[in-house]
């Protein structure tokens, strides 16, 4: 995921984004720690951390919420409740009627919003930021949405959910809804939408081209096996050897 670079997944400093944290919900602890430091230094910054519905079952989530509540840290917990934690449905994740109500145990304000409603999410986030910035402490926002695609490329969602369910949520697509809202209000025209879409497609393609050029310039797929373990486990050695064979086959095909 880090492209083999030792500095990891760094982002622009002006964005104040932390690197991706792979262990589920561990980012909650990082966010709360930063928020506590902000309060200790008497700054007016606010921290926002994101997790899925599955993350609310992790101990790190509850430890972070408890600490944030006790010390009134300026942090906002945004739960993207997309109904599925890989193949585990929301109904198997908790018996609570909402995920937002989990905040009540820590005396933290919690709100559930339509995560596919751009304006609803904006209003909830804006109020939470204002509260945190004015010394009101943390907030939890549950955004009810849906994961349209597979969890990863190794996942087959057809094994655990129906296409009918997916189609129901497809009709609630946030981009289509907000686009219709803006057109109905006369805030944007069809031509402007088309121009914007072309601009975005070009920006995405430029980013893809840049990433591919970087890999061609010197990226070695085998680097993924370096700098993680002092000694590779047997299964990783097997994967490493398999990748070596695939690389050799590709080179032979390209130069044969």
Active site residues: 147, 151, 160
CB 219 within 8 A of CB 212: no
**Rounded (to 5) percent helix, strand, coil in the chain:** 55, 10, 35
CB 115 within 8 A of CB 143: yes
As a whole number of angstroms, the distance between CA 5 and CA 253 comes to 28
Q: Length of the chain, please?
A: 256
Q: E-strand spans in the chain?
A: 47-52, 75-81, 84-85, 88-89, 110-114, 139-144
Q: Please tell me what DSSP assigns to residue 107.
A: T
- In the beta sheet, which residues pair with residue 139? 76
Measured at the CA of 154, the angle between CA 150 and CA 158, to 5 degrees, comes to 45
């Amino acid at each position: 995921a880090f492209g083999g670079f030792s500095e990891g997944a760094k982002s622009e400093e002006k964005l104040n984004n932390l690197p991706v944290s792979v262990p589920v919900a561990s980012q909650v602890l990082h966010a709360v720690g930063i928020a506590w430091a902000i309060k200790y230094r008497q700054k007016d910054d606010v921290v926002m951390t994101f997790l899925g519905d599955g993350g609310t079952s992790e101990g790190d989530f509850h430890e972070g919420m408890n600490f944030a509540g006790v010390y009134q840290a300026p942090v906002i917990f945004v739960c993207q409740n997309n109904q599925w934690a890989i193949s585990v449905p929301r109904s198997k994740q908790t018996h609570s009627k909402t995920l937002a109500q989990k905040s009540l145990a820590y005396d933290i304000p919690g709100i559930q919003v339509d995560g596919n409603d751009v304006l609803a999410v904006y209003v909830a986030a804006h109020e939470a930021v204002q509260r945190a910035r004015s010394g009101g402490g943390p907030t939890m926002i549950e955004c009810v949405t849906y994961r349209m695609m597979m969890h990863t490329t190794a996942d087959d969602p057809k094994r655990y959910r129906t296409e009918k369910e997916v189609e129901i949520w497809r009709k609630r697509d946030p981009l289509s809804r907000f686009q219709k809202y803006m057109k109905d209000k006369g805030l944007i025209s069809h031509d402007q939408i088309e121009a914007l879409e072309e601009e975005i497609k070009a920006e995405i393609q430029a980013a893809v081209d840049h990433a591919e050029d970087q890999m061609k310039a010197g990226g070695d797929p085998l680097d993924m096996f370096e700098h993680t373990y002092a000694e590779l486990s047997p299964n990783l050695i097997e994967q490493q050897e398999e990748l070596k064979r695939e690389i050799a086959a590709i080179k032979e095909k390209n130069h044969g």
